[in-house]
Chain A
Amino acid sequence: AQSVTQLGSHVSVSEGALVLLRCNYSSSVPPYLFWYVQYPNQGLQLLLKYTTGATLVKGINGFEAEFKKSETSFHLTKPSAHMSDAAEYFCAVSVQTGANNLFFGTGTRLTVIP
């Protein structure tokens, strides 16, 4: 079975500081990993994804994430936080099955302090 753990339900950073949102997954087969962002009262928007190939993936809005198989992690980073980054972020995992369903973490709310 697949699962995702996001460490820290709330993270606060100062504007211009490094953003680090943690995600660990559990999967018995090679996973496909995703980060989504959600602004208040809106749907989820795909930030980036890892399927195969290069383990460092770049996404929209300056975010990137690195797949580390040995650590079963897929942490999301951004070198310099912007006020517009304040949102909730969800990590998700999928594996190649008939349904290809996504399993989501419980989310991390990012606050950016001016």
Chain B
Amino acid sequence: DGGITQSPKYLFRKEGQNVTLSCEQNLNHDAMYWYRQDPGQGLRLIYYSQIVNDFQKGDIAEGYSVSREKKESFPLTVTSAQKNPTAFYLCASRVGQSSYEQYFGPGTRLTVT
């Protein structure tokens, strides 16, 4: 089955700790995205990557970091610099330059206390 996997589904961390969220896709898609979802605010773009070893900041990149060493993997690190890290995080991918729709993973709910 082709798709996007995000792990874990639920993640709990103490304030001040960095945490890495996993995103893997076996769709052979070129582009990958990370979004943050908060109630009533829709989806906000954190980072995106159109090709391996290249990525760009989205609208709310502060306090986050990413890497794209492999086409199928796009991990997101939530650093201690992120002031309000508790949220639902969604990873998505897109086929390539000629397409526009994105396909989403199941999400990771991060709770920081």
**Residues on A close to B: CB < 8 A?**
9, 32, 34, 36, 41-46, 49, 51, 90, 94, 99-102, 104-107
Number of interface residues, chain B, beta carbon within 8 A:
29
Q: Give 7 pairs: A residue, B residue, CB < 8 Å, sorted on A.
A: A43-B105, A100-B100, A101-B33, A101-B58, A105-B42, A106-B42, A107-B42
Q: Name the contact of A44 in the complex, choosing from B45, B50, B90, B97 (C-beta under 8 A).
A: B90
**Contact assessment for B104 and A51 in the assembled complex, using a CB-CB cutoff below 8 Å:** no
A105 to B48, CA, bound (A): 19
Q: Which residues of A contact B97 (CB under 8 A)?
A: 100
**Contact residues of A: prevailing secondary structure:** loop
Task: Name the contact of A94 in the complex, choosing from B100, B103, B109 (C-beta under 8 A).
Answer: B100
A-binding residues in B (CB < 8 A): 4, 6, 9, 31, 33, 40-43, 45, 48, 50, 56, 58, 88, 90, 92, 94, 97, 99-107, 109
**What is the bound-complex CA distance between A101 and B56, given in angstroms?**
11
